[in-house]
Amino acid sequence: MSKSPKHFLDINELPLSELKSMLDASSAMKAKQKAHQPVRPLEGKTLAMIFERPSTRTRVSFDVAMRQLGGEPIMLTGAEMQLGRGETIADTARVLSRYVDAIMIRILNHDALLELAANATVPVINGLTRRSHPCQVMADLMTYQEHRGPIEGRTVAWTGDDNNVLASWAHAAERFKFQLNVATPPELAPKKVMRDFIKATGAPIMIGTDPEAAVKGADCVVTDTWVSMGDKEGEHRHNVLKPYQVNAKLMSLAKPDALFMHCLPAHRGEEVTDEVIDGPQSVVFDEAENRLHAQKGILAWCFDAVK
């Protein structure tokens, strides 16, 4: 019987030991890349990348990661495929599985991702859905570790709305056992799926509405755009989120050596001020760089090529 494919769909679905081995592989491949020693475990492999929504980092970093590992990426957009004319996601999964060795997809509908994975006979990677963004948080964990060592037992503060990046941080808090303090406006608070997750797992996550309380004493402060892909823009949304902006005053409540993280793209002057994002505590471009390296670990894991 053929083995089931190793999908990378969400951080909380994988054992901590496998997540750590992906991060270790990412760091090892990063060191080799920096030393100009190519590592090419994916020679002859092809990755289909389907984008239903725009992307700069995810698109370019997966593309470059595949090439540097010896494989080939194929860039596809939903609109250019028959998917855009009503072919089912299940049939798309069955067909692509006959051509390529893995599929990475960015699609807002999380159930569509799950359907793709259920019908694919090759690994499927979540490149962002409305519900989660696990590849981003793997890069963020790698970045934290590089700057400050293990994240276990540390405190991460999230200020902003409830979104896909926060969900993956919550999954990571449960697996890696760090405290996650969340502050959102009451009307943009974590939904039932997150509250149920916390209840079911006992994850060390505190949900509140006060950004100062969340950030106080934190080792890392994280925020994200106030308007995620698929959200409705609006003055009201901006007004309720204004008190959640990461500025120098809010940042000063965290530990003096706290890191500032943001997955990018940033909306400067909205969720974060220039002073913070360009300041000495910000590691946003290290996070962006680590998308490349973290994805190599994820790809190698999917292909069973983690040494």
Task: Mark out the alpha helices in 69-191 (DSSP H runs).
Answer: 89-99, 110-119, 134-148, 164-176
CB of 93 closer than 8 Å to CB of 115: yes
Q: Can you tell me which of 145, 181, 225, 282 binds ligand NVA, judged by CB under 6 A? A: 225
Which of the listed partners (ligand CP, ligand NVA, none) does 293 bind, with a CB threshold of 5 to 8 Å by partner kind? none
> Is 136 noted as a catalytic residue in this protein?
yes
163 near ligand NVA, rule: CB under 6 A: yes
| Stated length of the chain | 307
> Is 224 noted as a catalytic residue in this protein?
yes
Measured at CB, which residue is nearest to ligand NVA? 228
Q: How many CB atoms lie within 10 A of CB 268?
A: 13
Q: Among the options 68, 136, 145, 295, which is catalytic?
A: 136
Question: SS3 of 128, please?
Answer: coil
C-alpha of 222 from chain center: 13
For tokens 């500025």, the residue is: 247
> Is 106 noted as a catalytic residue in this protein?
yes
129 near ligand NVA, rule: CB under 6 A: no
> Is 304 noted as a catalytic residue in this protein?
no
165 near ligand NVA, rule: CB under 6 A: yes
**How would DSSP label each residue in 213-258?**
HHHTT-SEEEE--SS-TTSPP-HHHHHHHGGG-B-HHHHTTS-TT-
Question: Measured between alpha carbons, how far is residue 48 from residues 95, 266, 285 in Å?
Answer: 12, 27, 26
Q: Output 126 or 228, the one with its CB closest to ligand NVA.
A: 228
> Is 263 noted as a catalytic residue in this protein?
yes
Which of the listed partners (ligand CP, ligand NVA, none) does 228 bind, with a CB threshold of 5 to 8 Å by partner kind? ligand NVA
Binding site for ligand NVA (CB under 6 A): 163-165, 224-225, 228-229, 263
Q: Which residues are annotated as catalytic?
A: 106, 133, 136, 224, 263, 291
Q: Which residues are annotated as a binding site?
A: 55-58, 82, 106, 133-136, 164, 224, 228-229, 263-264, 291
